[in-house]
Amino acid sequence: MDQRIIDLYNDYVHSAMSRRAFLARLAVLAGGAAAAAALLPLLEGGDAQAAVIDPEDGRIAGARVSFPGASGPVKAYAARAAAAQGLLPGVVVIHENRGLTPHIEDIARRLALAGFHALAVDALSPLGGTPADRDAARDMIGALDPATTLGDYAAALDWLKGQAGVNGKAGAVGFCWGGAMVGRLAVSAPQMDAGVVFYGAQPPEAGVAKITAPLLLHYAALDARITGGAAAFAAALAREDKTFAMHVYDNVNHAFNNDARPARFDAGAADLAMGRTVAFLHAHLG
């Protein structure tokens, strides 16, 4: 697919661009409305593609839960392996700017089968929860109070650490908007024991000295908007003698791990990044 089309879709997802404006610009790049309509399923995918692990899979013990956050009750989806015995490390899963989608819940199930007690938190809980309309979810994300949202995720870490069956450690893995949230938690929430960032914007350099958690950073080479800040962030982490690893994946786009969005998904990079993520989290969380 023409990289200009991918870039346009990235701009649409991460800005206040209206759907009408996006479709009009897509039609120009695609060569007409009919061609644009044919490209939409590849760009937007759908929830039917999100469930690599079926929510009813007998290997998974999944549940809708709620915990007290900075904003009040916060909704989440918890998952662990049904056959798991003993104490497991906890992982908070932080969604993209589309809210707690079926894809993110599936990520929680994948982490559950990899040996974690996963908690996928709905950051839009204060506004009633994630809506079905993805553009509405994007706008709602933009309306959240950043400090309160960070407080909700810090509370998620504390709550997860205290759950029966969790070994007292909890990390976080975030994607896009959620990746940026992991970086900000690293600065502000010392209770986070490890953090994994998938193509998330870097926190301000002034906060790097406060980071205590080891970090694993995944970036896409074609994602100039986010990856452009990666080298400076890595240099700041190195100057402060922080524990981190950074990987930039060649010839892939922002959201390369999201298999519910076929146009940007890259199976090879996603498998490599998730394999590194699981190994990293086990190394630092148990």
Residue pLDDT, tens place only, 235-251: 999 999 999 999 999 99
pLDDT in tens, 184-211: 999 999 999 999 999 999 999 999 999 9
First to last CA, the chain: 41
How do the domains of the chain map onto residue ranges?
3-44, 52-285
Nearest to 107 by CA among 198, 216, 43, 183: 198
If one looks up domain 52-285 in CATH, what number appears? 3.40.50.1820
Give this prediction's pTM. 0.92
- Residue 8 half-sphere exposure, CB side, CA atoms within 13 Å? 22
pLDDT in tens, 66-108: 999 999 999 999 999 999 999 999 999 999 999 999 999 999 9
Both tokens assigned to 158: 């504390």
Both tokens assigned to 254: 């922002």
Work out the mean pLDDT of the chain and round it to a whole number.
94
pLDDT in tens, 250-281: 999 999 999 988 888 999 999 999 999 999 99
Residue ranges of the alpha helices (H) in 72-133?
102-113
Q: For the purposes of burial, counting CB atoms within 10 Å of the CB of 164, is it exposed (0-12), middle (13-18) or buried (19 or more)? A: exposed
Report the distance separating Cα 130 and Cα 127, nearest Å: 8
pLDDT in tens, 12-62: 888 888 888 988 899 888 888 888 888 888 887 776 566 789 999 999 999
Nearest to 163 by CA among 96, 58, 278, 84: 84
* Phi, psi at 91, each rounded to 5°: -140, 120
